[in-house]
């Protein structure tokens, strides 16, 4: 039955009472129904983003109910009085529980100011999760104690996990005793963890959106301009047969050029193929491996430039950056010949980097052009002007307007043009007759120099400046690749008026990273202010904030282990961690402060708080992790975008749980003389 069954099993495993288990489980549908009602009030619809947010939020919304239920059960076991235990247990935990929920909501609040395509994905997600968490807080502080007051069990069974919990508690006490006795060593270990996470983040691949297995491939190919339809079709047949030889490609649909009635006009030298893959469970290779096999085969075909995409991903790339690829190096300058030369040098430098592959330099696709340069001396000898030469060539090639006639109430132009043979060559142009003022004619070759040259197929401009972009794919960290290329590009001598810039999704990526950094800082500040109001202290919230970088380290390490790169989905997971990583630490320090107020020493209070709060900390962490494991391990095609989110939260919860139970008590000992 999914998560509700998992939550029930975990609640019974740790608390040993069926009624408590049913009460916790009942909060899930109540919270989801309340969330759906609030979503409608905020104008949110059910779509892939909001449904995924609801699915991923289920593991978090049950945390509030678990924390309150566990505290009520503990009071029930101590007193046996249902009414007082329900009220006292809920009242004791209400403050830290509410602070924990508010900190998570505060982590999502700055997302309202995130713009761009990333904001379109993140804002609905954050809103739905925030609404669900607020609804769960209200349900946990009203419905849960009410149900315990009416049907709470007075004599719970011995929990099946009590023996395991006792063993973990004993190990935690020994670990905590050692960590407090060796505080310096513990702090050094924490700093080393931060360094490890930073290294993993720097070396890992980064993108705006996570790669999605769409079940289809899109291959675009370009041949030199002037390629005949017959030749283009022949090359397309070779590409098509090569693709169908792959065991994981089921069907291939190919288009050469563009239909006459289509809205997109392309020459017959261009084409594309859409390849449908077999269902993922039956595949022998991943999408990237299939691309590698196609690249190896297609690279043997000379004179063809090929771009490799997935259909939706290609549209997203163009929407984000205007380029049909994630990464590009653009050379700006006024002269086309110089740009072509610089593009060749840039391509050679990029080819030396092992992490850069599938480099596409469109300047290699040349378009043949005939250049006619009239000779002024020869023109004067025959009494001709350059305009006479131009008009004769224009009339021969396209015709000239002789008159306009009226046909069926419409004006029709009458063009007069030379009878140009279909198999004409440059020799025909050289022999083209130019009429002179005396009534004689002279061949074009007599008054002009005629030659064939090859130039780039297209001249493009960006912001009014002529440019050439070399496209590529980066395997690994784009930031690291850019740093290496910047150093190597320094060996290229750029004339005055020429520059090199990194384009594609890289620029969008840089802006997105900066936006997430600012949003994360804003979220941390909001969380700090909420905790400062909860603890009436400016120092204790700083201790709790230690769990945030440790949680991020755990997330990055697990991402590196699973070979998942950093993207917007990871950013959402990181913001979620910023909010939930501090929740258990808030409850732990709140109980510690109560014990210190009762006269316990700082060491004894921390030991007691860690032991008492161990059960709810493990229950909330395990519940959320179990809810995210299906998305992290075997996501469907539609939910693939949230797999990095799930891995991020799982890794962060594992490391933040250790930080809450070990690092937070160690840092709290530094404030042993000042705890308020």
pLDDT digits (tens, 9 = 90+) for 546-587: 888 888 888 888 888 887 877 778 888 888 888 788 888 888
Do residues 111 and 188 both lie within one domain?
Answer: no
Structure tokens at 492: 């290229």
The verdict on 156 and 166 lying in the same domain is no
For residue 211, the model assigns a pLDDT of 66
**Alpha carbon distances (Å) from 552 to 198, 206, 332, 446, 463:** 9, 16, 40, 77, 39
Same domain? For 152 and 5 the reply is: yes
Are 24 and 173 found together in one domain?
no
* CATH label of the domain that carries residue 186: 1.20.1640.10
The pLDDT of residue 1: 40
Q: Examine residue 518 and state whether it is found in any structural domain, yes or no.
A: no
pLDDT band, residue 672 (cuts 50/70/90) = low
Separation of alpha carbons 219 and 102, rounded Å: 48
The 10 Å CB-count burial string (b at 16+, else e) for 68-84 is: bbbbbbbbbbeeeebee
Q: Let me know whether 634 and 540 are in one domain.
A: yes
Tell me which of 268, 290, 309 is where a domain ends: 309
Indicate whether 506 belongs to any domain: no
Mean pLDDT of 631-655: 78
* 234 vs 123: CA distance, rounded Å: 49
pLDDT for 218 beyond 80: yes
20, 450, 501 from 579: Cα distances, Å = 27, 73, 37
Domain count, the chain: 4
- What CATH number did the domain enclosing 244 receive? 3.30.70.1430
Structural domain including 270 reads 215-309
* Residues 13 and 92 both lie in one domain: yes
Where do we find the tokens 């009472």? 17
Could you read off the pLDDT of 262-289 as tens digits, one per residue? 556 677 888 889 999 998 888 888 888 8
Model confidence at 202, in pLDDT bands (50, 70, 90)? low
Spell out the long-range contacts of 85-92 with Cβ–Cβ below 8 A and sequence spacing 24 or more: 85/148, 85/152, 86/145, 86/146, 86/148, 86/149, 86/152, 87/145, 87/149, 89/145, 89/148, 90/141, 90/144, 90/145
Whole-prediction pTM: 0.68
Asked if pLDDT for residue 21 goes beyond 80, the answer is no
- What's the CA gap between 570 and 201, in Å, rounded? 11
């Amino acid at each position: 039955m999914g998560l509700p069954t998992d939550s029930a099993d975990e609640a019974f495993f740790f608390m040993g009472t069926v009624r408590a288990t049913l009460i916790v489980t009942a909060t899930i549908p109540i919270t989801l129904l309340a969330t759906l009602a609030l979503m409608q009030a905020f104008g949110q619809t059910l779509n892939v983003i909001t449904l995924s947010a609801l699915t991923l939020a289920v593991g978090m919304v049950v945390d509030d109910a678990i924390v309150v239920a566990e505290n009520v059960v503990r009071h029930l076991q101590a007193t046996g009085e249902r009414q007082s235990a329900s009220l006292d247990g809920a009242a004791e935990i209400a403050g830290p529980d509410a602070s924990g929920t508010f900190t998570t909501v505060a982590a999502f609040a700055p997302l309202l100011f995130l713009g761009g395509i990333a904001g379109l994905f993140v804002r609905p997600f954050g809103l739905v999760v925030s609404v669900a968490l607020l609804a769960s807080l209200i349900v946990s502080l009203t419905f849960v104690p009410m149900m315990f007051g009416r049907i709470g069990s007075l004599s719970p069974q011995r929990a099946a996990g009590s023996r395991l919990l006792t063993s973990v508690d004993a190990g935690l006490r020994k670990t905590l005793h050692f960590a407090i006795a060796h505080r310096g060593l513990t702090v050094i270990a924490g700093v080393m963890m931060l360094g490890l996470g930073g290294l993993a983040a720097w070396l890992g691949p980064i993108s705006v959106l996570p790669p999605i297995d769409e079940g289809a491939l899109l291959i675009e190919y370009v041949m030199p301009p002037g390629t005949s339809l017959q030749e283009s079709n022949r090359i397309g047949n070779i590409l098509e047969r090569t693709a169908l030889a792959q065991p994981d490609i089921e069907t291939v649909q190919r288009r050469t050029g563009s239909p006459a009635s289509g809205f997109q006009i392309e020459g017959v030298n261009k084409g594309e193929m859409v390849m449908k893959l077999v269902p993922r469970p039956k595949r022998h290779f991943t999408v990237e491996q299939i691309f590698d096999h196609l690249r190896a085969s297609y690279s043997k075909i000379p004179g063809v430039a090929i771009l490799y995409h997935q259909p939706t991903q290609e549209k997203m790339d163009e929407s984000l950056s205007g380029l049909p690829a994630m990464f590009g190096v653009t050379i700006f300058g006024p002269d086309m010949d110089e740009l072509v030369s610089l593009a060749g040098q840039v391509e050679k430098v990029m080819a030396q980097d092992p992490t850069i592959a599938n480099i596409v330099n469109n300047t290699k696709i040349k378009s043949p052009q005939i250049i006619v340069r009239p000779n002024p001396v020869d023109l004067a000898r025959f009494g001709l002007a350059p305009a006479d030469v131009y008009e004769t060539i224009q009339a021969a090639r396209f015709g000239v307007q002789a008159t306009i006639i009226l046909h069926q109430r419409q004006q029709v132009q009458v063009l007069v043009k030379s009878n140009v043979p279909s198999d004409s060559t440059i020799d025909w142009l050289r022999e083209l007759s130019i009429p002179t003022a005396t009534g004689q004619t002279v061949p074009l070759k007599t008054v002009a120099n005629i030659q064939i040259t090859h130039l780039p197929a297209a001249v493009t401009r960006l912001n009014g400046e002529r440019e050439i972009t070399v496209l590529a794919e980066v395997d690994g960290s784009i930031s690291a690749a850019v740093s290496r290329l910047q150093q190597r590009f320094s060996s290229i001598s750029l004339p005055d008026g020429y520059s090199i810039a990194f384009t594609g999704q890289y620029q969008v990526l840089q802006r997105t990273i900066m936006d997430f950094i600012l949003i994360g800082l804003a979220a941390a500040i909001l969380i700090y202010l909420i905790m400062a109001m909860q603890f009436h202290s400016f120092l204790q919230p700083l201790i709790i904030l230690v769990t945030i970088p440790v949680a991020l380290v755990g997330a990055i390490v697990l991402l590196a282990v699973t070979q998942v790169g950093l993207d917007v989905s990871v950013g959402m997971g990181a913001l979620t961690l910023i909010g939930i990583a501090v929740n258990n630490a808030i409850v732990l320090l709140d109980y510690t402060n109560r014990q210190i107020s009762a006269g316990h020493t700082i060491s004894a209070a921390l030991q007691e708080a860690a032991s008492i709060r161990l059960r709810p900390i493990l229950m909330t962490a395990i519940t959320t992790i179990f809810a995210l494991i299906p998305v992290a391990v075997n996501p469907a095609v539609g939910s693939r975008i949230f797999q990095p989110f799930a891995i991020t939260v799982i890794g962060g919860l594992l490391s933040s749980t250790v930080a809450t139970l070990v690092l937070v008590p160690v840092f709290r000992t530094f404030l042993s003389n000042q705890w308020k």
